[in-house]
């Protein structure tokens, strides 16, 4: 196992399109790094550049202490799991697993031992003599995982490996993969993993750290809780979290306590925000997660007055959609705390919880409400 280091890596295609704009990323030895972002953010391209399936047009990629820029994929010490498994359709599972080793001309007994070992870990012993077309999606993905595991690579690369599975299977495979990662770590041979996904649930639950990407730029690299609690910019704030964070233009005035003006309403935030702002004032983007927006009686002090436009019953909680001027907010309320008499068109008060308010620069989108120590 080794660390992976991308230094100002760039990718420009033959037609002049620049997909990756000089990204710097360091994945520590044994770390589970998730690359996440909307489609077209170049996360898969980045992964394929690490694998060597795409050439890089600038910068350096280090795996361990060697620069792998110009090495072919087979010589980089990586293993990759593909979205659609990419098992060799004409080979039995056993041969699929051992193909890489037999290309390296490893002795037969060693290959057999490795095959048995891996199939034991992934519980695919009874599948060894089947062809890929006789496997279910989950089984095929386990075999694909085994094909990566058997090579004992320096770095594991996963390219949206779970997106072809149904929701239930995806959840169980997610646990299986993180389990495996922790198990290898406990056994003293930690696996460095780069995992690409567009699914933030996968990102949040699996990653030691998450790298959020957009249009070939890295927006933020941090562990899941930092990403959620202290997003560096409006993009990360909106991308992570379900339902999405409410992001609305507002005006900030800083008197004794910060005053937020939205449409024609102003509220004073008495606690949890002022000390983070350092006297900042002017137009900003207000960001508040639906979970951090209290629904109170209309006319309550320091709450915006809003009109309910929709109610979504989710079982244990209710998503309240409410409008202030043109801006629609979503608030999540536990079902038992929700006043059942409220309906479409009724007015309620929306009160952002001070410590969870984020303010983003109206132009750059950078989070301006992050104080140095949190």
Partner 1 sequence: MVALTDLPKPDQKTPPTALELKLRRKARINTAIRYSVLIVVGLIMVYPLVWMIGASFKTNAEMFSSPSFWPKEPTIQGFIDGWKTSTPYTFGHFFLNSLWIIIPKVIGTAISCTLVAYGFARFEFPGKKILFVTVIATLLLPNVVTRIPQYLLFRDIGWLDSFLPLWVPSALAGDAFFVFMVIQFLRAIPRDMEEAARVDGANTLQTLVYIVVPMLAPAIISVCLFQFMWTMNDFLGPLIYISSVEKYPVSLALKLSIDTTEAFAWNQILAMSVLTLLPSLTVFFLAQKYFIEGISTGGVKG
Q: Can you tell me the distance from the alpha carbon of 336 to that of 340, in angstroms, rounded to the nearest whole number?
A: 9
Q: Which stretch binds partner 1 (CB under 8 A): 35-43, 68-76, 184-192, 307-315?
A: 68-76
Residue 16 interacts with partner 1 (CB under 8 A): yes or no? no
Q: Which stretch binds partner 1 (CB under 8 A): 84-92, 243-251, 271-279, 292-300?
A: 84-92
- Closer to partner 1 at the Cβ: 162 or 240? 162
Residue 100 interacts with partner 1 (CB under 8 A): yes or no? yes
Residue 43 interacts with partner 1 (CB under 8 A): yes or no? no
Of 70, 90, 123, 281, the one binding partner 1 by CB under 8 A: 90
Q: Is 108 left (phi over 0), alpha (psi -120 to 50) or beta?
A: alpha
* Strand pairing class (246-254; 66-67): unpaired
What φ, ψ does residue 125 adopt, rounded to 5°?
-55, -40
What φ, ψ does residue 354 adopt, rounded to 5°?
-45, -60
Residue 111 interacts with partner 1 (CB under 8 A): yes or no? no
**Cα separations (Å) of 118 from 143, 177, 194, 314?**
9, 14, 20, 41
* Strand pairing class (317-324; 246-254): unpaired
- Closer to partner 1 at the Cβ: 51 or 303? 51
- Closer to partner 1 at the Cβ: 64 or 241? 64
- Closer to partner 1 at the Cβ: 97 or 308? 97
Q: Which stretch binds partner 1 (CB under 8 A): 22-30, 72-80, 243-251, 274-282?
A: 72-80
Count of residues in contact with partner 1, rule CB under 8 A: 26
Q: How far is the CB of 88 from partner 1 (least distance, A)?
A: 6
Residue 71 interacts with partner 1 (CB under 8 A): yes or no? no
Q: How far is the CB of 22 from partner 1 (least distance, A)?
A: 25
Closest to 178 (Cα-Cα) out of 202, 144, 143: 202
Q: How far is the CB of 344 from partner 1 (least distance, A)?
A: 46
What φ, ψ does residue 209 adopt, rounded to 5°?
-135, 155
Of 4, 42, 87, 177, the one binding partner 1 by CB under 8 A: 87
- Closer to partner 1 at the Cβ: 14 or 279? 14
Closest to 307 (Cα-Cα) out of 340, 268, 349: 349
CB-CB contact of 359 with 285 (8 Å):
yes
CA 364 to chain centre: 22
CB-CB contact of 247 with 330 (8 Å):
no
For partner 1, what does the binding mask look like between residues 136 and 155, x meaning CB under 8 A? -----------x---x----
Q: How far is the CB of 192 from partner 1 (least distance, A)?
A: 16
Q: How far is the CB of 254 from partner 1 (least distance, A)?
A: 55
Residue 15 interacts with partner 1 (CB under 8 A): yes or no? no
Residue 305 exposed, middle or buried by CB count within 10 Å (0-12, 13-18, 19+): middle
Q: Is 216 left (phi over 0), alpha (psi -120 to 50) or beta?
A: left
Q: Which residues contribute to the site for partner 1 (CB under 8 A)? A: 14, 51-53, 72-75, 78-80, 82-84, 86-90, 99-100, 103-104, 133, 147, 151
């Amino acid at each position: 196992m080794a660390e992976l280091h991308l230094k100002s890596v760039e990718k420009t295609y033959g037609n002049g399109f620049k997909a990756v704009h000089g990204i710097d990323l360091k994945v520590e030895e044994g770390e589970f790094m998730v690359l996440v972002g909307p489609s077209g953010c170049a996360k898969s391209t980045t992964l394929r550049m690490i694998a060597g399936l795409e050439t890089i047009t600038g910068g350096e990629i280090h795996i361990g202490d060697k620069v792998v820029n110009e090495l072919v994929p087979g010589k980089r010490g990586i293993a990759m799991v593909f979205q659609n498994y990419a098992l060799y359709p004409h080979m039995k599972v056993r041969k699929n697993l051992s193909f890489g080793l037999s290309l390296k001309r490893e002795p037969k007994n060693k290959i057999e031992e490795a095959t048995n070992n891996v199939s034991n870990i992934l519980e695919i012993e009874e599948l060894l003599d089947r062809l890929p077309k006789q496997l279910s999606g989950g089984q095929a993905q386990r075999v694909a995982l085994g094909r990566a595991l058997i090579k004992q690579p320096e770095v594991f690369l996963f390219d949206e490996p779970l997106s072809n599975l149904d929701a239930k299977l995806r959840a169980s495979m997610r646990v299986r993969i993180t389990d495996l990662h922790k198990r290898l770590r406990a056994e003293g041979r930690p696996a460095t993993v780069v995992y690409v996904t567009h699914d933030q649930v996968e990102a949040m639950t699996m990653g030691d750290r998450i790298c959020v990407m957009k249009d070939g730029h890295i927006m933020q690299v941090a562990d899941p809780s930092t990403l959620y609690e202290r997003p560096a910019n409006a993009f990360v704030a909106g991308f992570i979290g379900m339902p999405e964070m409410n992001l609305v233009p507002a005006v900030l005035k800083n008197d004794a306590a910060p005053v937020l003006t939205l449409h024609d309403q102003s509220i004073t935030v008495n606690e949890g925000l002022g000390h983070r702002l350092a006297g900042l004032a002017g137009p900003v983007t207000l960001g508040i997660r639906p979970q951090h927006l209290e629904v109170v009686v209309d006319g309550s002090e320091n709450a915006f007055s809003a009109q309910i436009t929709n109610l979504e019953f989710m079982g244990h909680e209710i998503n309240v959609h409410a409008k202030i001027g043109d801006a629609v907010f979503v608030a999540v309320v536990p079902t038992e705390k929700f006043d059942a008499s409220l309906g479409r068109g009724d007015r309620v008060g929306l009160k952002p919880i001070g410590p969870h308010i984020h303010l983003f620069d109206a132009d750059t989108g950078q989070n301006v409400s992050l104080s140095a120590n949190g």
